[in-house]
Amino acid sequence: MQHAGSAVIQAVSSHRHSGAGDLVRFTAAMALFGFAQSVVNAVFNNFLSETFSISDFARGMLELPREMPGFLVVFISALFFFLSSRRLAAMANLLAAAGIILIGFFSSGFTPMLLWLFIFSTGLHLFLPLISGIGMEFARERETGSILGRLNGAMNFAAILGSFAVFLGFRFFGFTFGIAFAVAAAGFLLASAFLVSMKPDRPLPAMGRFTLRREYRLYYWLSILFGTRKQLFITFAPWVLVTVFHKPTETVATLLTLGGIIGIAFYPLLGRAIDRIGERAILTGEAVLLVFVCLGYGFSRSVFPEGAAFIVAASCFVVDQLLMSVGMARATYLQKIALRPEEVSRTLAMGVTIDHLFSIAIALVSGLVWNRLGYQYVFLIGAAIAMVNLVTASFVKTPEVPTRVTP
């Protein structure tokens, strides 16, 4: 197994057909994608509220068309077996652009908007696993984490610009939701253009589109744990700030911006740390921190005065946001154990499908727990998941890559 992993890494390194120009184009595409996604995230909830005045039940319904494409991503990508990863990434951004334009200008009612949301979300979820897969193609030996860190840093910086552009547009330039969505669509379209301009790689055979191997079972389990942990952050962490601490939307937005600013430096540093100390150490550190983050969310108000408790919870929110990027370590771990280089992108897509299946399930279970037992027990579940993640991280082993000796 270790020999196979080393062979894959060496094969990938020796089979580079992407020059520096393609790396620049891909970085630009990542930045434009991050910018466009940030614009959508900044205005979408206000769009829903002001356009449809939806109920809490209707807002819950949105999770199905929004998250279902994540579960279906491996099957949808299989339908386009004739496309290479880079061309599939370009198509994904086209879908996102089309979906958000349809949402902005052709949502005659709530039901049509759900269909457009499904199209938009399909584009996003198709692209997300391809980010790591394509990004790792540009890395030399022992530099994969660094490449992914720089790419995520570029996307994060662009996302901050996107949020700031929304602020300026609505405050000073009379932006409407349609204009904001058109700006986002332009970002997705430009990202697609940069991806199309890259040298195409070879498409996988149709049978290679579904990759489910016994050898990757630890990666699948890590994906399951990530899916459950991710949903707690996306759904319940901001809900604590809003409903337990009674903070306005601006507070959550400010914390997200703060996390994004810190991330400009943090993501590249994390990428280099993955290369230098390895995936097991990074995943172990993430698990330990998540235990304290979950306890901070759940019990800071029981231990500290109100003001100090909010500072603890807000700090946990920022740390939690930064730790989402540890997905880079899972991606580089998969690359190192992969039996064949061409299986990396497909297995990443399978990981997205698996993690969404469990993230939807944990959202339903945690909602029931919150209502019946209290929010503290939701985060006790999160702490338990983090402990399982800690044990799992101890089993992460990667093959040693022979160090090149310079004569």
Map out the domains of the chain as residue ranges.
2-14+22-393
CA atoms within 13 A on the CB side of 405: 2
The closest alpha carbon to 260, from 315, 318, 317, belongs to 318
Model confidence at 246, pLDDT cuts 50, 70, 90, reads confident
Contact in structure between 252 and 356 (CB atoms under 8 Å):
no
Cα-Cα-Cα-Cα dihedral of 95, 97, 98, 103, to 10°? 120
What sign does the dihedral 136-138-139-145 (CA atoms) show? negative
3 state SS of 250? helix
Kindly give, in sequence order, each residue whose CB lies less than 8 Å from that of residue 3, ignoring residues fewer than 6 positions away. 399
Model confidence at 136, pLDDT cuts 50, 70, 90, reads confident
Contact in structure between 96 and 124 (CB atoms under 8 Å):
yes
Per-residue pLDDT tens digits for 86-113 = 889 999 999 999 999 999 999 888 889 9
Range of 41-50, 189-198, 269-278 with top mean pLDDT = 189-198
Cα-Cα-Cα-Cα dihedral of 18, 20, 21, 27, to 10°? 90
Q: State mean pLDDT over 200-224.
A: 72
Q: At residue 69, what is the residue type?
A: P
The alpha-helical segments, DSSP class H, found in 53-109 are 56-61, 63-79, 85-105
Higher pLDDT, 175 or 293: 293
Mean confidence (pLDDT) of the chain: 81
Q: What are the DSSP calls for 256-292, one per residue?
A: HHHHHHHHHHHHHHHHHHHHHH-HHHHHHHHHHHHHH
Locate 141 and state its tokens. 């030996």
Does the domain at residues 2-14+22-393 carry the CATH identifier 3.40.50.1970? no
What is the C-alpha to C-alpha distance for residues 68 and 96, in angstroms, rounded to an integer?
Answer: 15
What sign does the dihedral 212-387-358-154 (CA atoms) show? negative
What is the C-alpha to C-alpha distance for residues 259 and 237, in angstroms, rounded to an integer?
Answer: 14
So what's the pLDDT on residue 16?
A: 44
Contact in structure between 347 and 338 (CB atoms under 8 Å):
yes
Per-residue pLDDT tens digits for 188-209 = 999 999 999 988 766 555 444 5
For the cut 90, the answer to whether the pLDDT of residue 46 exceeds it is no
So what's the pLDDT on residue 157?
A: 86
User: What does each C-alpha distance from 94 to 88, 102, 184, 235, 348 come to in angstroms?
Assistant: 10, 12, 12, 27, 21
Locate 199 and state its tokens. 């040298």
So what's the pLDDT on residue 82?
A: 76
Model confidence at 316, pLDDT cuts 50, 70, 90, reads very high
What is the C-alpha to C-alpha distance for residues 69 and 63, in angstroms, rounded to an integer?
Answer: 10
Per-residue pLDDT tens digits for 339-351 = 887 777 778 878 8
Cα-Cα-Cα-Cα dihedral of 25, 31, 36, 41, to 10°? 150
